[in-house]
Amino acid sequence: MAGMKDKLRRSRREVIRTAAMLAGAAGLARVIVRPAAATPEMLQEAIRAAVGEAPVNKGRVKLDLPPLVENGNSVPMTVAVESPMTKADHVKAIHVFNEKNPQPYVISVWLGPRAGRAAVSTRIRLADSQTVTAIAELSDGSFWSDSVDVIVTLAACIEETTH
């Protein structure tokens, strides 16, 4: 009886080990397949839907997210854009996207010169460790962006409920 238990335990250990190896290999394969700077297709599509064919420049936008998140259910986020917010030169919209939630959209906001300051804060959900991207649309038609890598230890969105 004890021997059988041992055998079972051993085989379970083997299964776990094999699974871990497979998962590791899959992860490695994914890393190798995906080019270093590219983002997944859904995210790219969502960004194209908001931005169109215009080029997205790096800079002017400051996306503030904690680099290490304990609970992905509520992550404080602030997006601020450097802009004088005058009639001639202001931020028209800010879009925030994520890479690994079930959907790529987080929030889109529309403002104008009446805002005075192009900054918005909210709390978001993150289902996994991932890159979050904020894109600002300026009144001159240019787009600017910032990205932040976030490590999430407890994921949101897909966990089971207790009620």
Partner 1 sequence: MARPLIHIPSDIRRGDIIEIKTLISHVMETGYRIGVTGLPIPRDIIEDFVCQYNGEEVFRARLAPAIAANPYISFFTVATESGTLEFSWTDQHGKTQVQITAITVT
* Contacts to partner 1 by CB under 8 A: 73-75, 98, 101-103, 105-112, 114-126, 156-163
Of the two residues 33 and 88, which places its CB atom closer to partner 1 in the complex?
88
The residue among 56 and 128 lying less far from partner 1, judged by its C-beta, is: 128
Distance of alpha carbon 95 from alpha carbon 112, whole angstroms? 14
- Whole-number minimum distance, CB 110 to partner 1, in Å? 4
Least CB distance to partner 1 at residue 151 (A): 17
Q: Between the CA atoms of 48, 51, 55 and 60, what dihedral angle is there, to the nearest 10 degrees?
A: -130
Alpha carbons 38 and 115: distance in angstroms, whole number: 34
Tell me how far, at minimum, the Cβ of 82 lies from partner 1, in Å: 14
Instruction: Enter the DSSP assignment of 161.
Output: P
Residue number with CB closer to partner 1 (83 or 145): 83
Q: How far apart are the first and last CA of the chain?
A: 40
CA distance 41 to 30: 14
Asked if 134 and 121 touch (Cβ cutoff 8 Å), the reply is no
**What is the closest distance, in whole angstroms, from the C-beta atom of residue 144 to partner 1 in the complex?**
18
Residue 146 Cβ vs partner 1, minimum distance, rounded to whole Å: 17
Q: How far apart (Å, rounded) are the C-alpha atoms in residues 39 and 99?
A: 7
Considering the complex, state which of residue 3 and residue 116 has its C-beta at the smaller distance from partner 1.
116
Distance from C-alpha of 83 to C-alpha of 114, rounded to nearest angstrom: 13
